[in-house]
Amino acid sequence: MFSLLVPTRGLIRLDLFKSCVESFVSKAVDKNCFEFVVTMDLDDKEHRAKVEEYFESNDYNFKIITIRRNQIEFSRDYMNHAAQCSSGKYIWALNDDVENVTEEWDRVLKELISAHPDPEGHLYISVDDSTHTVDAAGRGILIDSHGSCFPMLSRKSCEAMNGLFPTKVNVWGADSTLFRIFKHFPDRMLRGVDYVKLLHHSHNNFTREQDETSQTGINFSRHCSLNFPEEQVYVNMLRNS
């Protein structure tokens, strides 16, 4: 039912990655209702070997997609490509530095989705990401204006947009751009933020020091938003499908 997209890079993140995976597996009711779709770089050989060894030693549903490293087109080559290679009805954008803390998260999400009048239509599902939903250093709470850092979309929506995120927003800002697109369809937005919580171990919410991998997003972000005509292209993709 669920495809969990987890890009990961760097051996220094191996423990984070394992903790991420285990947090979803250990707290699930049905361990066969979800898959991990992991994107890794061709040149990240040592880390990739350890991840492959980890999955081989555990009976989890997983796919590993290996690509030639592209630091600029993150939305296109990592998240959208992973979404296109996924199998689930609902596709969740995650990262290797998140930890699920919601017991029976799969049951909770199933119940939330099934309560919608059109559960297999276009859907945007927010979760508490502990970054946009905390009042850290006076930044305020951003979930209602910027959306969730880790949104979930229905397969119908991913297919309409050919992926999870607009490709022009190459790294940072893709989550907020997606939120603004779905603000045109308020009846298609499910507030999972009230039911499912993730801990984001990140410098963005001051819970972890910045590392080389997280620095990439800062260095290579080129377009952090869409202008109105560009946004309307995606709105029309959803409206006409």
Mean pLDDT over the full length of the chain? 91
What is the rounded average pLDDT of the residues 52-74?
A: 94
Mean pLDDT score, 198-202 = 89
| Nearest Cα residue to 9 out of 45, 50, 44 | 44
- Predicted local distance difference test score (pLDDT) of residue 138: 45
- Report residue 225 CA to chain centroid gap: 17
Q: Where do we find the tokens 């992991």?
A: 38
pLDDT of residue 146: 87
In the chain, DSSP assigns E strands to 2-7, 34-41, 62-67, 90-93, 98-100, 124-125, 152-154, 189-190, 198-200
What pLDDT sits at residue 143?
80
pLDDT confidence bin for 157, thresholds 50/70/90: very high
Query: Can you give the pLDDT at residue 219?
Result: 61
Read off the pLDDT band of 196 (50, 70, 90). very high
What is the torsional sign of CA 128, 9, 207, 203? Answer: negative
Contact of 205 with 133, CB cutoff 8 Å: no
- Beta strands (DSSP E) in 10-134 are 34-41, 62-67, 90-93, 98-100, 124-125
Burial 16-28 (b: 16+ CB within 10 A, else e): bbebbbebbbebb
Could you tell me the pLDDT band of residue 71, with boundaries at 50, 70 and 90?
confident
Q: Which of 14-23, 50-59, 187-196, 221-230 has the lowest mean pLDDT?
A: 221-230
pLDDT (average), residues 122-138: 82
Closest among 148, 131, 149 to 139, alpha carbons compared? 131
Q: Bridge-partner residues for 161, per DSSP?
A: none
Q: Please, are residues 123 and 116 in contact by the beta-carbon 8 Å criterion?
A: yes
Confidence of residue 227 (pLDDT cuts 50, 70, 90): very high
